[in-house]
């Protein structure tokens, strides 16, 4: 069976300027980013689908991205894969003093366990200290400094909101956030009523953005992960639309020739079949 050392050796061979793969030799940090994001989502998809047969392969693809970046950095004399491993290990030991009180990985496991609340409080204190240490000057430090700009927008919105909530900049309850959602929806309606033109399009985009941000806030207050909720909604939409397509195939009808009313009727049938049956299990869709 191949080992991690074998994977590192393979990566070095692929990047060999003379004997390596031309495509791999041409890659940079920036060109790899889209592949890294895609591989991460494929891991998430395999987990959501319960596809544990293919999960090792997806995890391997994601690991290869890390190895790739480390190889690029090693070629430039910045760091290597061992530095990556050391950095994450050291950070996790530092962030879990309740598990590693002496700061040693192989210390005896004799520390009393903390409850979830205590662990969260300790975690946030340590992260805040790390952020302070990273800042060049205390007056330049922002709570939002280390929220990555490249995160998916829903994820980043939730992180920004969670971060400022630590200092009390937050709605007190979900009911008040729901009121804000309604307010933002009214502002979208008002933007739609503006005269046609570039300012109208800009206003609509801005107000829709505010609406989405407030919906993420509502999700956070309800304990719902907005990104996962939207992924679930996407999956539900796909299932129901597949049902429509399959039903029309069985009827030998083209979807392009169907009225919206006919499509809506099939959509309602898809929803009906998704509802739990009397024995408690959901009816399966024909897709």
Q: How confident is the model at residue 286 (pLDDT cuts 50, 70, 90)?
A: very low
Burial of 125 (0-12, 13-18, 19+ CB in 10 A): exposed
Last residue of a domain, one of 50, 73, 95: 95
Confidence band, pLDDT 50/70/90 cuts, at residue 284: very low
**In this structure, is residue 19 part of a structural domain?**
yes
Pair 210, 183: CB distance under 8 Å: no
Of 12-16, 121-125, 165-169, 201-205, minimum mean pLDDT range: 121-125
pLDDT score at 54: 96
DSSP state of 278: T
Size of the chain in residues = 287
- pLDDT tens digits along 220-276: 999 999 998 998 899 899 999 999 999 999 999 999 999 999 999 999 999 999 876
Q: Is residue 166 part of a domain?
A: yes
Domain boundary among 95, 111, 140: 95
Last residue of one domain, picked from the residues 53, 75, 95 = 95
pLDDT in tens, 168-203: 999 999 999 999 999 999 999 999 999 888 889 999
Answer whether residue 122 shows pLDDT above 80. no
Arithmetic mean of pLDDT, 150-161: 91
Nearest residue to 79 (alpha-carbon basis) of 67, 94, 63: 67
Residue 283 has pLDDT above 60, yes or no: no
Dihedral of alpha carbons 91, 93, 97, 98, sign: positive
Q: 262 in a domain, yes or no?
A: yes
102 pLDDT more than 60: yes
Beta-carbon contacts of 52 under 8 Å, excluding residues fewer than 6 positions away, are 46
Cα dihedral across residues 20, 23, 24, 26: positive or negative: positive
List of residues 6+ apart from 257 with CB closer than 8 A: none
The domain that holds 74 is classified in CATH as 1.10.287.1080
Res 135: pLDDT:
61
**Dihedral in degrees, nearest 10, Cα atoms 145, 150, 155, 158:** 20
Q: List the helix and strand counts (H, then E) for the chain.
A: 11, 0
Domain that holds residue 244: 228-274
Give the per-residue pLDDT at 139. Answer: 56
Q: Is residue 195 part of a domain?
A: yes
Q: What is d(CA 74, CA 181) in angstroms, rounded to the nearest whole number?
A: 49
Three-class SS state of 226: helix
Global pTM value: 0.64
């Amino acid at each position: 069976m191949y080992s991690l050392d074998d994977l590192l050796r393979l990566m070095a061979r692929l990047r060999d300027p003379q004997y390596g793969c031309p495509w791999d030799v041409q890659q940079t940090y920036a060109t790899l980013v889209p592949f890294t994001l895609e591989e991460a989502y494929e891991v998430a998809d395999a987990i959501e689908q319960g596809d544990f047969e293919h999960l090792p392969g997806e995890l391997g693809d994601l690991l290869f991205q890390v190895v790739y970046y480390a190889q690029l950095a090693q070629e430039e004399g910045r760091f290597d894969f061992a530095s990556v491993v050391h950095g994450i290990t050291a950070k996790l030991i530092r962030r879990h003093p309740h598990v590693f009180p002496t700061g040693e990985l192989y210390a005896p496991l004799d520390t009393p366990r903390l409850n979830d609340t205590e662990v969260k409080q300790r975690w946030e204190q340590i992260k805040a200290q790390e952020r302070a240490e990273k800042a060049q000057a205390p007056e330049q430090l922002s709570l939002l400094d280390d929220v990555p700009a490249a995160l998916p927008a829903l994820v980043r919105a939730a992180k920004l909101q969670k971060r400022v909530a630590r200092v009390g900049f937050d709605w007190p309850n979900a009911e008040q956030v729901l009121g804000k959602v309604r307010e933002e929806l009214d502002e979208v309606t008002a933007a739609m009523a503006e005269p046609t033109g570039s300012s109208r399009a800009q206003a609509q985009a801005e107000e829709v953005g505010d609406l989405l941000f407030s919906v993420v806030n509502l999700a956070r207050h309800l304990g719902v992960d907005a990104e996962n909720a939207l992924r679930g909604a996407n999956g539900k939409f796909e299932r129901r639309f597949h049902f429509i397509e399959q039903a029309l195939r069985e009827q030998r009808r083209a979807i392009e020739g169907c009225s919206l009313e006919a499509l809506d009727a099939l959509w309602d049938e898809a929803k009906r079949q998704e509802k739990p049956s009397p024995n408690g299990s959901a009816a399966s869709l024909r897709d």
